[in-house]
C-alpha cells in the first residue's frame, strides 16, 4: 500500500547524491544485476520531489549494493527465440498508479526443452496512466513489454535469427482472454483503446499471449518491493542462474498461506 510521505524535503546535496546514485548504477543494473532495477526506478521518480525518507531509501539501496558486489550472469546456448514474461502490480505506486514488470530472454524453440537464460531486457516502470482494474494494469504491462519487443525482434531477424510469434506470458486470465478474443468487452469498458494495439499485433502473428501460473513468472520480482528473505531466495536465479525457478511469487500473504498448508499434519 502506498504511504503518504510527510518528511522534510531533500536539500541540494542530497538531490545531487540521488542523481549520482541513479546514474552510476543504471547501466550496471541493466547489463548485469537486474535485481537493482525496481529500486533504481523508484528512486529516480523522487529526483525532483524527494524527502528524508528517500535519503533512507538511498542508504538502504547502497547497503544492498555493498552486500552484493560483483554480480555475474551466465548465458547458455539456445535457439535464440525471444520469450517474455509480463506482470503488473495494481495501485502500488503514488497517485493511484500501478507498476509494470517485464523479463525478456532467449530460449529454445517451442517443443524442445526450455531453459531460463538471464534477461536481455527488463522492464521495471510505473504505468503513467491510472489503471481502473487489475486486468487493465496487466494489459498495460503487456503493451509496454510488446513495444520493447518490436525492435528486438527486428534486430534478431536482421542478425539471421528468424522469430516466430513471441510468446508473452501473463498470470491474469482476464487480460489473456480479452487479448485472445476469448472474452468480449461488456462491462469492462475501462480498458484504454490504445491497449488494443496488442490485439492487432497478435492477429498479425507477432505475439502469442498466453496464461500461466504466477508462481514462476519471472517478471513478478520487478513490480514491487520485497522482504530481504525473498531477495536472498531468488537472487541466484536472476544473477548466476544456478537453479530453475520453481517459486518466484513475491506476495508475502501467499507465502504465509503456503507455509501454513505445509505445516498442517497429514491426514491418516
250 and 119 within one domain: yes
Predicted confidence at residue 118, as pLDDT, reads: 87
pLDDT bracket for residue 175 (50, 70, 90): confident
163 and 48 within one domain: no
Domain assignment present for 184: yes
Angle at 150 between CA 224 and CA 76, to 5 degrees: 70
CB 58 within 8 A of CB 18: yes
Domain that includes residue 87, residue range: 81-254
96 and 38 within one domain: no
pLDDT bracket for residue 242 (50, 70, 90): low
Predicted confidence at residue 252, as pLDDT, reads: 47
| pTM of the predicted protein model | 0.83
Predicted confidence at residue 240, as pLDDT, reads: 64
Please count the structural domains in the chain. 2
User: What are 42-56's pLDDT values in tens digits?
Assistant: 999 888 888 899 999
Predicted confidence at residue 164, as pLDDT, reads: 93
Over range 61-85, report the average pLDDT: 90
250 and 134 within one domain: yes
d(CA 3, CA 14): 21
85 and 62 within one domain: no
CATH code at position 112: 3.30.420.10
61 and 37 within one domain: yes
Report whether pLDDT(138) > 60.
yes
CB 73 within 8 A of CB 240: yes
In the numeric block, which cell numbers belong to residue 93? 505506486
115 and 32 within one domain: no
Using alpha carbons, select from 3, 50, 53, 52 the residue that is nearest to residue 22. Answer: 50
d(CA 157, CA 170): 25
d(CA 219, CA 55): 27
User: What are 196-227's pLDDT values in tens digits?
Assistant: 788 888 888 899 998 888 778 888 888 888 88
56 and 177 within one domain: no
Domain assignment present for 3: no
Amino acid at each position: 500500500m502506498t504511504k503518504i510521505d510527510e518528511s522534510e524535503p531533500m536539500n541540494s546535496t542530497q538531490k545531487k547524491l540521488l542523481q549520482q546514485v541513479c546514474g552510476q548504477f543504471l547501466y550496471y543494473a541493466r547489463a548485469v544485476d537486474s535485481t537493482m532495477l525496481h529500486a533504481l526506478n523508484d528512486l529516480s521518480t523522487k529526483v525532483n520531489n524527494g524527502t528524508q525518507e528517500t535519503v533512507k531509501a538511498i542508504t538502504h539501496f547502497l547497503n544492498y549494493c555493498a552486500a552484493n558486489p560483483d554480480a555475474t550472469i551466465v548465458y547458455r546456448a539456445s535457439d535464440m527465440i525471444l520469450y517474455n514474461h509480463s506482470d503488473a502490480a495494481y495501485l502500488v505506486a503514488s497517485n493511484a498508479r500501478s507498476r509494470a514488470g517485464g523479463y525478456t530472454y532467449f530460449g529454445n524453440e517451442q517443443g524442445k526443452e526450455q531453459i531460463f537464460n538471464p534477461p536481455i531486457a527488463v522492464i521495471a516502470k510505473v504505468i503513467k496512466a491510472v489503471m481502473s482494474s487489475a486486468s487493465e494494469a496487466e494489459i498495460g504491462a503487456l503493451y509496454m513489454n510488446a513495444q520493447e519487443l518490436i525492435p528486438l525482434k527486428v534486430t534478431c531477424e536482421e542478425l539471421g535469427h528468424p522469430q516466430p510469434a513471441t510468446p508473452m506470458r501473463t498470470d491474469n486470465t482476464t487480460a489473456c482472454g480479452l487479448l485472445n478474443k476469448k472474452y468480449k468487452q461488456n462491462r469492462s469498458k475501462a480498458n484504454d483503446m490504445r491497449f488494443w494495439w496488442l490485439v492487432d499485433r497478435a492477429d498479425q502473428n507477432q505475439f502469442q499471449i498466453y496464461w500461466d501460473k504466477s508462481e514462476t513468472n519471472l517478471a513478478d520480482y520487478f513490480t514491487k518491493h520485497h522482504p530481504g528473505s525473498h531477495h536472498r531466495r531468488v537472487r541466484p536465479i536472476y544473477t548466476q542462474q544456478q537453479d530453475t525457478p520453481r517459486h518466484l511469487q513475491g506476495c508475502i500473504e501467499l507465502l504465509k498461506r503456503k507455509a501454513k498448508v505445509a505445516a498442517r499434519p497429514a491426514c491418516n
